[in-house]
Each structure stands twice: as structure tokens, then as C-alpha cells.
Structure 1
């Protein structure tokens, strides 16, 4: 290990076996002013983004149904 490794944060780490948990997601209420079509596009992107994280093994603290209910409520859909 060099001084550069220490300074840059590139330290060796033991593999983790703990579940990765992410949440909560950003608030989508700032999208309310957008036209409905654009809000539906953002809704689709939010779902796809969450799905991509879950596919990589990220466990979310918010259930999928709660996530959908929240983003539709926040965006006024």
C-alpha cells in the first residue's frame, strides 16, 4: 500500500455480506408543474431506476407499492 492509496481512499476492504439498503428516494413533488405527459415520462424513469438498482442487488427500505403510491401522489398523477 502506498501513500497515494491512503490519500485517495483506495484502501483494501473485506468483502461485505450485509444486505445493501437504499432509501428514501428523492421527492418528486417538484415535477408537479410539468405537463402530464412529462410527469408520466418521469414516472417511468423513476420505476426503471428503482428496478435497475434492485437488479443489482440493492434492497430498498420502501416497498415497491409504497414507492409507486408516493411518486404518483407527489407528481399529482
Structure 2
């Protein structure tokens, strides 16, 4: 088990809510066939884009998000 790291300080723009997490883990789905894992990956990206379109800012950068989700899904 990895030791927990303290959350990073987040800067907030006026009128923007920051979502720091925790985010759902996709590692439970790594046993699914590759096609289904790619569908989940697309869904995760769509969900994040939807939240951002509503004006929410993520505490996890997009690159960190992609790196985490692809590692959890092993794709």
C-alpha cells in the first residue's frame, strides 16, 4: 500500500469550484477485456470534460488524470 501524500494547495479563480477528489479508481476494471477498458477510459474523459464545462476545476491536472486512469486500466 502506498503511503498517503498530503493534498496540494489548490488555487481557485473567482467563481470556480475546485474538485480535489478522491476520484473513483478504475483499477477494479483492469480484468475486463481491452475493448471494455477503452470504453471506460472514454467515459472517464467525457465525465471530466462535462464537469469542466460546468465551470468546475480539477485538483488533478489533465496529464495526471490521463496517466492515472490509463495505469489503473492497464491500457
TM range (shorter): 0.7 to 0.9
Q: Which residue of 1 aligns with 2:48?
A: 50
Bigger radius of gyration, 1 or 2? 1
More helix by share: 1
Distance in 2 between residues matched to 1:30 and 1:39, nearest whole Å: 11
Matches of residues 25-64 of structure 1 in structure 2 within 5 Å? 25-64=23-62
SS at match of 1:25: coil
Unmatched 5+ stretches in structure 2: 1-13
Unmatched 5+ stretches in structure 1: 1-16
Q: Across the two proteins, how many residue pairs are aligned to each other?
A: 61
Q: Which residue of 2 aligns with 1:19?
A: 16
Is residue 24–residue 61 contact of structure 1 (8 Å, CA) maintained in 2?
no
Q: Which stretches of structure 1, 4 residues or more, deviate above 4 A after TM superposition?
A: none
Task: Please report how far the alpha carbon of residue 25 of structure 1 lies from its aligned counterpart in structure 2 after TM superposition.
Answer: 1.5
Task: Output the TM-score relative to the length of structure 1.
Answer: 0.74
SS at match of 1:24: coil
